[in-house]
Structure 1
Amino acid sequence: MSERFEELTAGVLAPLVLGGTIRPVRPLGVELGLSVGAGRTIVDSDLRSQVDVARVRIARLIAPVDTLPELSSYDWALCAALNDLFQVTNHELGGMLTRGRYRRLLGSVVALCERIPPPRTVEAALSRHATFARVLECVRTDTTVSWWTGRASFRGQPPPSRLMAWPQVRNVHLDARRVTLTDMLGGVQGVSEGEYLDAVRLWLTRTPLTDLATMGRRSPGFAWSAPTVSVIGTAPGRALAYRLLARYGREQALEVMTRATAEVPAHCEEARTLCEAFLREVTEGLGPKSEVVQAAR
């Protein structure tokens, strides 16, 4: 178990927080994902300190804090779910006869996320956001190499040097494209784009401040969920949410929030009332111009 924990730390958590190349590890699944971080902390004291400092730096963008709680077992479980979500997009995971692996793994990601409770306090929500704030900044470089007799594609891996040899003689062309997390599924057989994006959306609800902070994303579109509504249900949570939204232009923030609020079912009266009140607060607070509110930086 400790070996898997260290793999997850070095391959996913540390580069996600500090920056660097994420190298997904073997899928962990539901039970191992829930237990991999229980009672554990990063062994390397220097790395642990770097991660702590980076998380506080992110948190201080919206809150005057000097420390954050240590990562909980559920935070590590969310990291495990992210690892497995990355693996769903791994084209080498399954072959012609094993495409069912992708669907089973995606089902495992969904099941794991459903067993991870949302943060119970505003402090926990801030701590979790400080860990996963950069998740939608993750990109994979996909490369297509074409030459006079053929072409080959490589997802997340550099093309072998032999394909790049004699570029002028062989008429070699290189097309590199940066693909975000929400678009990484392309070409995987056995899982639909909608199913994959639903899993990404579910994952985001487990870190509600991150969900709010990325509401301007193209897909999956932002929708109010029980965790995000819970955040704006308290004065400190509303303050943090407002500071996140103030980093957008006024029109973009209001457009997304207006649509999401209109989509809250009528029978969810209490949630709808909270969302409408927060929308009014944001509308009044962001002012008349389409500008980023510098005070939130």
Structure 2
Amino acid sequence: MLKEAIDSGIVDFKINHPLARDSQLEKQLLKILKLREVWVSNLESAITRDEGRIIGELGAKCIDQQVTKTGSLAICWGSATKLVVENLETNPEKQVHVIQMIGSMGTSDSTNDGVELTKMAARKLKGTYELLNAPLVVDDEASALSLLRQSAISKVLDAAEAADCALVGLGAINLNSSALVAAGYLTADEVSDALVLGAVGDVSGILIDSRGREVVSKFTSRVIGLKPQRIKNIKNTVAVAFGQDKLQIIQAAALGEYIDILITDSSTARSLISSSIATTHSTEGRTSSI
């Protein structure tokens, strides 16, 4: 009878696996990046959808710990943000307000867009939401300044800055994997210009260099969202980032103090540790030769 019920779909079994973490890698990476917390999944790398879901579950658990009973959560857009949002669970003890912290992508890939992710997060958490009714990038700096002065826009950004927690995106800057390139916001020439200026990636649409400083460019002046200092003002900023192409932006975001908590996989954690050791040895070698 049980077999028949399972076969017919009446009965379904779900195995709740523990979200195993690697405490040793976390300790090493915490010391190197000097963050408040580092969560490293035992998962070697998040390549498949199921592996990505595990990272998303870990991120969702972290977010739940950061948001207070009547608190607020600011989110951006992107594939890593989507992984977390898809795995958020309702906490009956909390009433969470979700805020879109950067403008919309405005592309056909609406599932990764800030508008849809904000709505999905609020639905998952059975909370309320607040949208930023503006594109991520406008035509010129004058248009950006005009939009940012509008009360409807500034009100949402003020709420995002005051949030208990923000789920920020860390993007690599290259033609193959950059979300900004895929969305059509950065052209090949603009990527080249950004690299010349020292950009290693973006934090929620803001380009930064290897030392965590904002890269001032025509592109960044057109972005609608929280500026770097305002991101730093948020109580708890969480970033979910993994993969070899994210190493530089993770290091830069930590150095620039844009993130408080990092969630990643084991492979990325080990690469970050190895990179730090190599940099230290290189610096010591140059010093001794002098």
For normalisation by structure 1, the TM-score amounts to: 0.31
Which protein has the bigger helix share? 1
For normalisation by structure 2, the TM-score amounts to: 0.31
Which protein has the bigger strand share? 2
Which one has more relative contact order, counting CA pairs under 8 Å at least 6 apart?
A: 2
